[in-house]
C-alpha cells in the first residue's frame, strides 16, 4: 500500500463518498464490472520527506520484539478482534488482507517485513498512510507495533470500503485510490498484480459484509446482474479469476478457470511468488534489514 487516502483527497475536487459511489455504479455498465473491481489503484507520492527516509526512521526506532497477545495458532487474534469491532470490518477481511500482505509475520529471516518503498508491518502500511490514521485515531508513534499497525490497517480498509464497496476496496488498499480513480475516469491500464490480489482475497470474503454496509457497497451490489452476464474482452486466466471472485460474492459462481499452479519458491522476472502462486506487487517485494 502506498500513500494515504487523505493525501489523495486533498489533491482532488471535493467529492463525498456517496458521489464517488454513484460514479462507481454509473461507470459499471460502460466499463464492465470485472475490470472495475480488479482495478489497481496507485497512490500519489507524498510531498515533503521522502517515504523511504521516513520508513527508515520508523524502522530505526522499532523494537526488536513485540509480544503477541494471543496463542501461537492465532498470535494477533485479540488485536484483530478489537480493530474489527472498532471499525465494523469483518475479522475475515482483516485476516485475509494481513495474510496476503505479510503472512501474519513481523519478521522474515531476521528482517522487518518492509517493502523497498517503505510499506511497514503486518498490514504493510506506507508511512504517510500511517501518519494520517495515527493522528485521526490517536495511535502510537511506532507503525511496527502490532496493535497500532492492525488498527491503522483496519481503519484504512474501512475508508476504502466506504468509498468503493466490496471487493473494490481491495484494489484501493493494494495500491491506493489514485490509480483506481484513474481507471474509473481515464480508463488507464490495470496492472496484473492487483487483479491477482483482488482475485486471491475476493474468494476468501465471499458473502461477508460489515454490519453497517456502505452506500458504495449497496450501489455496487445492485449491479450484481452485470457480473453474471458481462462477457470480458480478455479471456486470460487473470481476468477470469477476478470475474470468478466477484461473481461468487453474490452466491452464483462461474466455472472455475484454469489457473497455473506455481511452486512456492518460483521467482520470475523479478517477482516474488506468494503462497497463492500469484506475484506479489512490485512495491511490496524484497525486505530491508532490521535496525534495532
What positions carry a catalytic annotation? Answer: 101
The answer to whether residues 146 and 106 touch, using CB atoms and an 8 Å cutoff, is: yes
The answer to whether residues 93 and 205 touch, using CB atoms and an 8 Å cutoff, is: yes
The answer to whether residues 139 and 151 touch, using CB atoms and an 8 Å cutoff, is: yes
DSSP state of 75: T
Give dist(CA 131, CA 139) in Å, integer.
9
Residue 113, exposed/middle/buried by CB under 10 A (0-12, 13-18, 19+)? buried
In 3-state terms, what secondary structure has residue 48?
A: coil
Strands (E), 145-282: 267-268, 271-272
The answer to whether residues 126 and 3 touch, using CB atoms and an 8 Å cutoff, is: yes
Contacts of 55 (CB under 8 A, 6+ apart): 114, 117, 118, 119, 120, 126, 127
β partners of residue 204: none
Sign of the CA dihedral running 114, 164, 11, 282: positive
Amino acid at each position: 500500500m502506498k500513500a494515504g487516502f487523505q493525501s489523495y483527497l486533498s489533491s482532488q475536487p471535493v467529492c463525498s463518498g456517496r458521489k464517488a459511489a454513484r460514479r462507481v455504479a454509473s461507470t459499471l455498465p460502460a466499463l464492465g464490472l470485472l475490470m472495475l473491481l480488479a482495478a489497481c489503484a496507485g497512490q500519489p507520492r507524498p510531498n515533503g520527506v521522502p517515504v523511504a527516509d521516513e520508513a527508515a526512521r520508523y524502522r530505526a526506532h522499532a523494537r526488536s520484539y513485540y509480544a503477541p497477545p494471543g496463542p501461537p495458532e492465532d498470535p494477533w487474534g485479540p488485536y484483530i478482534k478489537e480493530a474489527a469491532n472498532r471499525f465494523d470490518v469483518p475479522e475475515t477481511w482483516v485476516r485475509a488482507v494481513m495474510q496476503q500482505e505479510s503472512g501474519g509475520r513481523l519478521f522474515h529471516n531476521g528482517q522487518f517485513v518492509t517493502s523497498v518503498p517503505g510499506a511497514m508491518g503486518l498490514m504493510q502500511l506506507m508511512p504517510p498512510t500511517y501518519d494520517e490514521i495515527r493522528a485521526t485515531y490517536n495511535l502510537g508513534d511506532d507503525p511496527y507495533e502490532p496493535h497500532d499497525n492492525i488498527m491503522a490497517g483496519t481503519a484504512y480498509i474501512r475508508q476504502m470500503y466506504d468509498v468503493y464497496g466490496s471487493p473494490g476496496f481491495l484494489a484501493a488498499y493494494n495500491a491506493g485510490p489514485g490509480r483506481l480513480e484513474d481507471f474509473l475516469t481515464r480508463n488507464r491500464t490495470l496492472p496484473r498484480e492487483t487483479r491477482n490480489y483482488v482475485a486471491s482475497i475476493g474468494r476468501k470474503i465471499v458473502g461477508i459484509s460489515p454490519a453497517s454496509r456502505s452506500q458504495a457497497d449497496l450501489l455496487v451490489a445492485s449491479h450484481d446482474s452485470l457480473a453474471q452476464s458481462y462477457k470480458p474482452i480478455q479471456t486470460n486466466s487473470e481476468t477470469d479469476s477476478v470475474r470468478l471472485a466477484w461473481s461468487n460474492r453474490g452466491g452464483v459462481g462461474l466455472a472455475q478457470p484454469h489457473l497455473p499452479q506455481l511452486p512456492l519458491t518460483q521467482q520470475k522476472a523479478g517477482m516474488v511468488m506468494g503462497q497463492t502462486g500469484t506475484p506479489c506487487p512490485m512495491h511490496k517485494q524484497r525486505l530491508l534489514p532490521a535496525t534495532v
